[in-house]
A and B are shown apart, each in its own frame.
Chain A
């Protein structure tokens, strides 16, 4: 199967994709974009989150064929060149990153939230990130990171 789509603003054309491959597998193994992580591959942990035509999805639950003609944004496409996004900066500064395996998914889910709700309450932050698992941090610093980024982006 051949897959044509736009990833992080660049047109991509990949041949030889198996019909059974997920978007996650194609991103990681065929496009060399391993930022979407393979923690559970059953839609429970949010580590593989990407934007598919602007919508936050678990790329492990999307067949590669479903991404035909779509615009995809991964964690690799969030920074503006060398300048990290406010969320990326805040995750580092607040200590929200430990092993970091969940981090790309959390940042994309938080990015999705802040696009909808620029000044979220803690309850709204929790609700928006409820589909992402982190095993290291206990989440306190992740909530703080989202608060810090939201403050910076609205002032």
Chain B
């Protein structure tokens, strides 16, 4: 071990806690001692509490709003409606179609209509309840297929189609006749919730000069700033955002929730205002994963090679656009999966309905289609008599292979490799057979079970995912980093400043690791993210480690150049320029070892550099859905082993195996955490997670009724990490966060089908589906 860390003849050791190491989180101590300040923990002298009055109806016309009873509640300081929004009255990530506060129409249950500030949270909530809104209740439009119909009532001026993406690759018409085998399937994916544990919350503080400072849990500070400033009618330099501690995000913090509301109340009252949603309100306060209806047709030769794929995908975007356009793009472009297919005809629709708005959630459109194409691959395998691994291997995407958009995968495409790893992973033991003693905890249903395992069947399933990393379709994706280097008390210190949001994924650890590696320092600090530094883009699309990581690396390299320049001057040309390095707090020569302490060289100087970094540019699609729309592509795969009690419809997941190519594991501990956590969320979607919506109303807005996996539900997860370097990426890294979420659920569904022999067209699979007691698809 030691020899690998000693450089230049025993005199110089490698900088510790740099990239590739299992470095621990810098915020760990605060988080385990309860002292980390989350957005719901903030407090200011004399602050007020905000509350929101929301529409109880999924579709209604507002005749009038009477706030007088609310204003009369002692302790209430302000009650605001749409009339009090001084700037743009709507907001939205891709299209500003969502009212800050509703006027005229409400389009979903829970839509904000008015806001209150009071001296106590209970007072604010009570006042919000006393706002009298006179609604003319309208029939909600809740079926996405009906919404697509030209005769349907238009929920927005431009109609109900947010996007129709049409992809024509090769020619299905010409080649369909050459397919020996055709399999068809219809699949339905339920609405998943991010269920981040930290509620939507923040603190808005008036700055005394007409501006406002918002401390907020968000995924994208600058996009929040754009939207908040526009609706406040303020110049952007009057609005400052600082990231507050974030209790998970998973896409749920990409859209605004209480940001504009808190700022409006703070500016109106000239006092600090805190807002923090309850869990029930949170279910109405953020967008969810799009439910999807998918119709697939796969044609193949007798030896299982794909000839064509036809897919029709309908994504229910709910009442407002949010990121539906982009989700639709991702669903459509990955509808065939990580397989090469010469002919494809894909139509993906995102539509408006009066259901809860849907937008970003981890996996972002790639999740829904993975359930579809992987179920189809299993059907195809059965039809041609191949096993599930072999059919996938025969069609596996390879480097240079074309996606249905005609775009080649330029980086690694290790589909065959991940399949081989899954095949080589040993199977877990079977439960003991009849007559032997069973541990009730190891049966489906656990200690609550009422059988002794009589109806037990084991199933094994596989799934592979494909997903873009970074923004698409020609969006100028970039990030900014400012790096400062100075010496204090004989020790060099690097400080990284970006606007990239640490949502739990460990970005702060990675930034410090990059600074240590590039600048050879021991102490690397990460400043809180805020809008006093350039845009970092969103903590989404698995992009921050790659793109903000790239910016941090570039800024560090610029600082290092200046340091080495100083060193060359000081050494008076006594050393070859490319022989100089920074390592373990020394300026050193590769061949001769340490030359001088870095702190001595720096003296009183502070070196600051700022850089932007961009991944490979992308292009929009043409009218046939062809074009290089994606920057980087990532792959992951899962094997699921389940035991199902086919009489009771109960499931125990015995084991999950995840294999993922991450390019380079900058922090293996954090990578494992992402893979294990993503795997759990995917399993949750397959087994239990669904927001049940009836007539536009959410039936289960609580953790009592919306279930996420507990520690008892979660089986052991084997994690296999591949490191195949991405081209044109810092250290060869690829995005990590989303891929494990995508293939985990489909592998569980495949295992459930294998165990039950049932179609299981609806995700999540409910006990009544597993026991064969009810139909599955909502439309038939």
Interface, chain A (partner B; CB < 8 A): 18, 20-21, 25, 28-29, 32-42, 44-45, 47, 74-76, 78-79, 84, 88, 91-93, 95, 97-104, 107, 123, 125-127, 129-143
Contact = CB atoms under 8 A, between A and B. Distances in A.
A59 B276 CA distance: 18
Contacts of A135: 194-197, 248, 250, 677, 681, 708
A63 to B, nearest CB: 13
What does DSSP make chain A's interface, helix, strand, loop or mixed? loop
Given A84-B29, A140-B717, A99 B34 contact: no
Contacts of B199: 38-39
B34 A91 contact: no
A131 B426 CA distance: 32
18 contacts: A18-B122, A20-B122, A34-B34, A38-B276, A39-B279, A74-B34, A75-B33, A88-B32, A97-B32, A98-B505, A99-B248, A103-B31, A103-B32, A135-B681, A139-B676, A139-B714, A140-B716, A141-B672
Contacts of A84: 29, 32-33
B35 interface: yes
Given A34-B41, A38-B199, A139-B711, A101 B248 contact: yes
A138 B714 contact: yes
Interface stretch (B20-28, B58-66, B410-418, B641-649): B20-28
B503 A33 contact: no
Interface string B687-713: 000000000000000111000111110
B32 A101 contact: no
Interface in B649-702: 669-670, 672-673, 676-681, 702
Contacts of B250: 135
B711 A132 contact: yes
A92 B29 contact: yes
What does DSSP make chain B's interface, helix, strand, loop or mixed? loop
B31 A139 contact: no
Contacts of A143: 711
The bracket for how many chain B residues form the interface is 35 or more
A45 B34 CA distance: 16
Given A18-B122, A20-B122, A95-B25, 16 more contacts: A29-B43, A37-B197, A38-B276, A42-B704, A78-B33, A84-B29, A98-B677, A100-B245, A101-B197, A101-B198, A125-B711, A127-B441, A132-B711, A138-B676, A138-B709, A142-B711
A99 B504 CA distance: 4
A140 B41 CA distance: 28
B624 interface: no
A42 B711 contact: no
Nearest to A131: B710
Interface in B46-70: none
A101 B247 contact: yes
A42 B279 contact: yes
B592 interface: no
Contacts of A127: 441, 712
B506 interface: yes
Contacts of B37: 34
Contact of A99 (B35, B247, B441): B247
B45 to A, nearest CB: 12
Contacts of A34: 34, 37-38, 40-41
B716 to A, nearest CB: 7
Q: Which of A38, A42, A136 has the most CB of B within 10 A?
A: A136
A40 B197 CA distance: 8
B658 to A, nearest CB: 10
B752 to A, nearest CB: 19
A74 B33 CA distance: 9
A38 B27 contact: no
B616 interface: no
Contacts of B195: 135
Interface in B95-124: 120-122
A141 B717 CA distance: 10
A108 B36 CA distance: 16
B248 A123 contact: no
A35 B29 CA distance: 12
Q: Which of A40, A44, A45, A135 has the most CB of B within 10 A?
A: A135
Interface string B209-251: 0000000000000000000000000000000000001111110
A140 B32 contact: no
B703 A92 contact: no
A99 B197 contact: yes
B32 to A, nearest CB: 4
B197 A92 contact: no
A45 to B, nearest CB: 6
A123 B65 CA distance: 55
A133 B677 CA distance: 12
A7 B341 CA distance: 65
A100 B31 contact: yes
B24 A92 contact: yes
Nearest to B718: A140
B247 A35 contact: no
